[in-house]
Amino acid sequence: MPCSTQFYRLLNVSYSGLFTYFLLFNLLTFDIDLVKPGKITVIAFVLLTFLFACKPEVKEVPVTKPRVFEGFHPLLDEIIRTKEGVFRGLNLNSNSEQIKKTEGIAPIEKSPGHLYFEYKTDSLTNYSIEYTLTNDSLEEINVQINSDDLELTSYLFCDIKDYYANKLPNPTEDKGYIVYNCFEGERKPFVVSLSDNSIPTKGKINMLIYKDK
């Protein structure tokens, strides 16, 4: 327990009460000289110095951000962000203002049909997101994750694959690509294509989300 807390609990008085208690104690022990003006000033100074030097400890409680994708790699919380929508809370047909609001930063590249963002997670890993629009309606999302950590790349690829397999069941694999189809009746409104294009010296994951033609 901090020293000031013990002191306050023992006396159970305010700061002014502490000063009065100290003076009365000395008066009762017949140290009458203490009430002289000069000595009172010294006593007050000593008391205030003690009180401010012995403040209660203020402990900062660490704030733990709740996980979005419990059981998956923490980077999914940053890259995919939310379970809403097809990616980062967005769906195809979203407009450019919705995209900018979702990203929260200025795009690196911008044109009427194109928004491009880059992010760095640490010294080894970064990712980019390219949005393609037609008449201010989102048509395609192209995500690329790059990392010098090949083990991390493999881990992320498996987790992204499993996440979309749960969201869009029955994926198919073709020539290294994992394809997830979102069916609505007879239509396939969008497709998610995922691939691991890593080389021995560099990890690279590509994900393309697009409207089915």
Question: 3-state secondary structure string, 71-131?
Answer: CCCCHHHHHCCCCCCCECCECCCCCHHHHHHHHCCCCCEEECCEEEEEEECCCCEEEEEEE
The angle formed by the CA atoms of residues 195, 171 and 161, to the nearest 5 degrees, is 45
Radius of gyration of the chain measured on its C-alpha atoms = 32
Q: What percent of the chain has pLDDT over 70?
A: 69
Q: Which two tokens stand for residue 117?
A: 């963002």
Q: What share of the chain is helix, strand, coil (3-state, %, to 5)?
A: 35, 30, 35
Q: Which two tokens stand for residue 86?
A: 């097809």
pLDDT at 162: 96
Indicate if the pLDDT at residue 95 is higher than 80: yes
Q: pLDDT tens digits for 112-137? A: 999 999 999 999 999 999 999 999 99
